[in-house]
A and B are shown apart, each in its own frame.
Chain A
Amino acid sequence: AQSVTQLGSHVSVSEGALVLLRCNYSSSVPPYLFWYVQYPNQGLQLLLKYTSAATLVKGINDFEAEFKKSETSFHLTKPSAHMSDAAEYFCAVSDRETGRRALTFGSGTRLQVQP
């Protein structure tokens, strides 16, 4: 079964520092990969997605992620954290094995940005 592992349930950075949120996947077929952000008391919003075109994917709010097949990773980065980036971030992989055409989500990483 496809799965996603997010290393670190909580990450804290200073404002202006690099943001790195880690995501590793396991999949027996080439995956599609997604990053979603959830602000407090809101639904999830798509940040970016990898659909087997360019391996470096740029998303909204200066976030980007790189698909590395050799490392089975899809880490999310942002060069300079802003206070408004404080939220929970979810990595997700497409379920291409069961035919449900659904997403399998990781357990999430809560990002804290310190002033």
Chain B
Amino acid sequence: NAGVTQTPKFQVLKTGQSMTLQCAQDMNHEYMSWYRQDPGMGLRLIHYSVGAGITDQGEVPNGYNVSRSTTEDFPLRLLSAAPSQTSVYFCASRRTGAITDTQYFGPGTRLTVL
């Protein structure tokens, strides 16, 4: 199993550009989520999905879109990048929606918006 994979590892954007961060898992997990990590703030939930075709907003959803057309993939779209979106982005998955299930994290995407 590759686990949770994320691409790209690094990305530099100009203000106003759009892009998609890719996330895939090969563990047949129902629940997937996106977090952003900023210094001194821990991880904050952006969007999450409890299964294919079902997504919902997290704590900081503004400026981001997600879709879940398959169980395996959960891409995060930045519609019009802003410097405030400079961050490290982590995708995570777990087997079910049960909070006690172990959550597995990808290696992260480091995004810089100029």
A residues whose Cβ falls under 8 Å from a Cβ of B: 4, 9, 32, 36, 41-46, 49, 51, 90, 94-96, 100-103, 105-108
A-contacting 9-mer, from B12-20, B40-48, B70-78, B79-87: B40-48
Majority secondary structure of chain A interface residues (helix, strand, loop or mixed) = loop
A105 contacts B43, CB within 8 Å?
A: yes
Pick the residue among B44, B45, B90 that contacts A43 (CB under 8 A). Answer: B90
**In the complex with contacts A49-B100, A94-B99, A108-B42, A100-B56 CB distance below 8 A:** yes
A107 contacts B99, CB within 8 Å?
A: no
**Minimum Cβ distance to chain B for residue A6 (Å):** 8
B102 contacts A46, CB within 8 Å?
A: yes
Q: B100 — which chain A residues lie within 8 A by C-beta?
A: 32, 49, 51, 94
A107 contacts B103, CB within 8 Å?
A: no
**Minimum Cβ distance to chain B for residue A45 (Å):** 7
B107 contacts A42, CB within 8 Å?
A: yes
**In the complex with contacts A100-B48, A105-B43, A43-B102 CB distance below 8 A:** no
18 extra interface residue pairs, beta carbon distance < 8 Å, beyond A43-B105, A44-B90, A107-B40:
A32-B100, A42-B108, A43-B4, A43-B92, A43-B108, A44-B92, A46-B102, A49-B102, A90-B42, A94-B100, A100-B58, A101-B50, A101-B99, A102-B48, A102-B99, A103-B45, A103-B99, A105-B35
Q: A51 — which chain B residues lie within 8 A by C-beta?
A: 100
Pick the residue among A45, A95, A105 that contacts B42 (CB under 8 A). Answer: A105
Pick the residue among B42, B45, B92 that contacts A100 (CB under 8 A). Answer: B45
